[in-house]
Structure 1
Amino acid sequence: MDNGSCVVARVPMPIAGPSRLATNSEVATITYLRSKISLPIPKILDWNDDPSNPAGTEYIIQEHVAGVQLHQEWHKMNPEQHMLCTKALSLTIKKMASLDFPAYGSLYFADAPLDSDLKIPFEQGFCVGPHCSPVFWNRNPGEHELYRGPSPNCGPWRDLTSYCRGLIDTGFSRLPKEAVNNRKLLPYQGSIQDHVRLLKTSREVIQKLSEDERVKDAATPALLHPDFHKRNIYVSAEEPTVITGLIDWQSTSIEPAFIYANETPDFAALPMVPEADPLEDEQDETEISRQKERELKDASACYQTYDVVMTALVPKLRPARLLDPTLFRLFHYCHTTWRDSAVAVRQELIELSARWAELGLEGSCPYSPTEAELKQHARDYEDFEAVQALKSWLRDNLDTNSDGWISSDAWDAARVAHRAAYDEWIQTAKEAESRGEDMTVAKADKMWPFDAR
């Protein structure tokens, strides 16, 4: 501003979520949280969810957060600072999880532009309405063929059964309405018919899971930050264990607690253990090994700190964290089968079917794959795992997240590294193809996870 002060002005892109609702929900969520618990969320100075206003767009104007991104500071911090910062952030999650809600969906102001039958009254001035995540409105980036309208069931949902129905309805709504060019699909994507069958099966399996008392106990409505990672956390430049700001509350939602329970933020995640490089000499390898050991010890302390707080001090998350995560994974993926591929959902169904009795579930699993299906799945799953390993390797080497997010100041270096990684991947495929192996250049190109080539 002219007087030297800073504010942040934000406008939504079409992929942000439903028009008006995404803005109204974000502002309502921030307003409610600031009124209930002590969190370093930047104050909203002005906002408007009507695109016909004089600015010509919805907007939110907020205070500028003091401090620096944790993403920028993390590598400069020592192990004790990492642990203290993780503890502070874990206790922040505890505060959010202490709030109670009457239904699943998103939080809005009571006068939000919604039909009355889509509003579940909440505390004075607020209501629970439709889930405003882009997933339910078919607006995710890179999925233009799905931009034809929202799911017919975006909520709100008063109980777990209706929430599950919303997931399946959304999964069906995300299937293309016409045949897709196979050249654009991953080798293990599966046909539209495959996905229809998987969704019908998932509906039966999820219905049985949602009747289990342990799953019900783990399904208390909870509202947590939807993207609680280092890039959205600001800390003091002088004392990085002090949290100064939490940003990007877009698409915050009220979910069954088990949806959040087993997610691990990047500041508490254990690192991948890379394979030894045969080109390193023995002395270098020893020093690198010691460095990796120190990093693993540091990350383990952060992970254990986070785990203790989530399990011991957050009652809503405890039931799910004490149960086998296999019970809950289908809830995460059944509504995104087309995005994640048929093999991803089929793997969850196969594991549930194989472990049904071991997991203490009543009766028999509605899904029982044939030997032929299992053999075909094993071949497809090998490709799927190769892509997941590639994504993990790229995420660690490019210092990005699974969606490819890169801070603007690191973009040029990351683009060069990305290009080198792609060239290496394709060269490996060429060599495999020349040996007559299953991997080909065309297949490798399809499996590359980012648009850039």
Structure 2
Amino acid sequence: MLPIPNVLDWSDDSSNPVGAEYIIQQHATGVRRHQIWPTMNSEQHMLCTKALSRAVRKMASLDFPAYGSLYFANTPIDTSTKVAVKAGFCIGPNCNPTMWNRHPRELELYGGPSSNRGPWKDLTSYCLGWLLVITQEPLSQDSLPHQGTVQEYIHLLKTGEQVLKMLVQGKRIQDAAVPTLLHADFHMKNIFVSPEDPTVITGLIDWQSTAIEPAFIYANETPDFAALPEQPDEEDIPETGHPETEISSAFKERALKDAAICYQTYDVCMKGLVPKLRPARLLDPTVFRLFHYSQTTWRDSAAAVHQELIELSARWIELGLEAYEDFETVQRLKLWLKRSLHTNSDGWVPSEKWNAARDAHRAVYDEWIQTASESEARGEDLTVAKADKLWHFDSR
């Protein structure tokens, strides 16, 4: 069992006597981990990190059939937004504030709540759900220069959507996307330990943003209790010769060594004890950073997403991702069709030009298939069957 304080009372109705939604829990026993950490020795640091890693293992041991937030089975929400799980619970809409556009610092960035908050039974629908919430036009047209215009932002997201759809088809991404429930803010300020034995975890608090997410959302975030500190450059360290400086340097050296041990302990535990996270931790972070940015693009800037797309494109072959050539082929084919048929990406043409457009469409389709036939005869990758599948419009 995880040491989570019991809930004594709660209300999600602001018309209650308090005048606001609230939750009251038992007092968390022990002391916050960051308060006692400086007094602990190296072995205690390692054992505490190991205990916290085992807590992650317990969280990840639960299996779920969908992505979303966890609710009681009798929660009064629409049955179409419930996916049943065991022991009187269900998976329902994701409670992340971004989905509901109620974050106090982001009210000016978004319109109303998303119409698709989950739950999502597969990775594709999960990604599209997040894309939907951030492609809603913001209430305010004022933005910082690095954010770009609303139009630029939406255009970039549409490109990102195509890339995400390709990524989620890969087996390695699928293997790294198992629905996983972990503490969303698993850091020192939310961890309590015993003052008598600081290797014993006595309390974990601040669970309100916890949701069932793809494993890779959590995999490469190292909690602060296991993070490596930044080391100063050697030229920045003064050589004074004073005993106080030597003692300070020795203390820092020990702290760095302890941090390295904790980092290694956490990394080994995640790869060895938490099977759900292992495939994701073995992937290059470049592969799934786009999934992270897609949730906060307008806040973090379109430039960040643009850079991720550039890096992903440049390293596609190196990262072992399939079908990048197909992606480029589809983009070139779509552009060619739009120009040849004088239409848009949806295939719309005025009714008075329909007959001419239909004939032209037939001609360019035949030309495309003929090109594929010749390619297939030469033993190249583009076959007739593949060319037909890559064709942008429904008509043949």
Equivalents in 2 of 1:313, 1:176: separation in Å?
43
Aligned residue among 145, 166, 188 for 1:208: 166
RMSD value over aligned CA atoms?
2.1
The match for 1:267 among 222, 225, 250 is: 225
In structure 2, the partner of 1:282 is 240
Q: Give the residue type in structure 1 aligned to 2:311.
A: E
Q: Which is higher, the Rg of structure 1 or of structure 2?
A: 2
Query: 2:359 maps to which residue?
Result: none
Give the superposition deviation at 1:315.
0.7
* Residue identity opposite 1:358 in structure 2: E
Mean Cα displacement is larger for which, 40-49 or 222-231? 40-49
Q: Does 1:73 align with 2:73?
A: no
Q: CA offsets per residue over residues 267-319 of structure 1, 9 Å max, x none?
A: 00001123457694432666554433222211010000000010011110111
Number of residues of Structure 1 aligned to a counterpart in Structure 2: 326
CA distance in 2, matches of 1:358, 1:248: 40
Question: TM-score normalized by structure 1?
Answer: 0.68
Deviation at 1:56, TM superposition (A): 3.3
Alignment partner of 1:315: what SS? Answer: coil
**Alpha carbons 1:104, 1:254 under 8 Å: kept:** yes
**Is residue 205–residue 367 contact of structure 1 (8 Å, CA) maintained in 2?**
no
Corresponding residue of 1:176: 138
> Quick check: 1:353 aligned with 2:313?
yes
Deviations 1:90-121 (A, max 9, x none): 00000110000110000001122311111112
Q: Which residue of 2 aligns with 1:313?
A: 273
Maintained 8 Å contact 2:9/2:25: yes
Distance 2:151 2:271 in 1: 41
Question: Where does residue 377 of structure 2 map in the other structure?
Answer: none
Shift of 1:189: 2.5
Deviations 1:230-257 (A, max 9, x none): 0000011121111110011101100011
Give 1:246's match in structure 2, choosing from 184, 193, 204.
204
What amino acid sits opposite 2:265 in the alignment?
T
Q: Distance in 1 between matches of 2:64 and 2:205?
A: 22
Alpha-carbon distance in 2 for matches of 1:147, 1:341: 14
TM-score by length of 2: 0.78
- The amino acid across from 2:222 in the alignment is T
Partner SS, residue 255 of structure 2:
helix
Give the match's secondary structure for 2:228. Answer: coil
Q: Could you list the per-position Cα deviations for residues 38-85 of structure 1 after superposition, in whole angstroms to 9, with x for gaps in the alignment?
A: 110011122232333344333222111111111212222222211111
Which residue does 1:159 correspond to in 2?
122
The question of whether the paired residues in 2 share the 8 Å contact of 1:47 and 1:61 is answered with yes
Q: 1:230 to 1:52 in 2, by over 3 A?
A: same
Match of residue 336 from structure 1: 296
Check whether the contact 1:169–1:335 (CA below 8 A) recurs between aligned residues.
no
Contact 2:110 2:134 (8 Å CA) reproduced: no
Structure 2, unaligned stretches of length 5 or more? Answer: 330-396
**Most deviating of 346-355 and 108-117:** 108-117
- Do the aligned partners of 2:109 and 2:299 also contact (CA within 8 Å) in 1? no
| Matching of residue 123 in structure 1 with residue 81 in structure 2 | no
Residue 113 (1) aligns with residue 81 (2): no
**Distance in 1, Cα, partners of 2:324 & 2:27:** 55
For the 8 Å contact 2:111–2:139, the answer to whether it is kept is no
Deviations 1:146-196 (Å, cap 9, x if unpaired)?
3642122211101111001112112213x524421x5xx2x4222222211
1:76 and 1:148 map into 2 onto residues whose CA distance is 49
1:231 matched to 2:231: no
Find the aligned partners of 2:218 and 2:38 in 1 and give their Cα distance: 26
Distance 1:117 1:231 in 2: 37
Question: Which of 10, 19, 22 does residue 56 from structure 1 map onto?
Answer: 19
Gapped regions of structure 1 (runs ≥ 5): 1-37, 369-453
The within-5 A match list for 1:28-43 is 38-43=1-6
Q: Distance in 1 between matches of 2:175 and 2:113?
A: 30
How far apart, in 2, do the equivalents of 1:147 and 1:356 lie? 33
> Residue in 1 aligned with 2:322?
362
Distance 1:242 1:279, change over 3 A: closer
Contact kept, 8 Å, 2:216 with 2:280, in 1: the verdict is: yes
Among all aligned residue pairs of Structure 1 and Structure 2, give the percentage whose two residues are the same amino acid.
63
- Aligned partners of 2:307, 2:124: CA distance in 1, in Å? 23
What's the offset of the Cα at 1:367? 7.7
Conservation of the 8 A alpha-carbon contact between 1:86 and 1:306: yes
Q: What letter is aligned with 1:254?
A: I
Q: 1:190 aligns with which of 148, 154, 163?
A: 148
Query: Residue 344 and residue 121 in structure 1: after superposition, are their counterparts in 2 closer, same or farther (change >3 A)?
Result: same
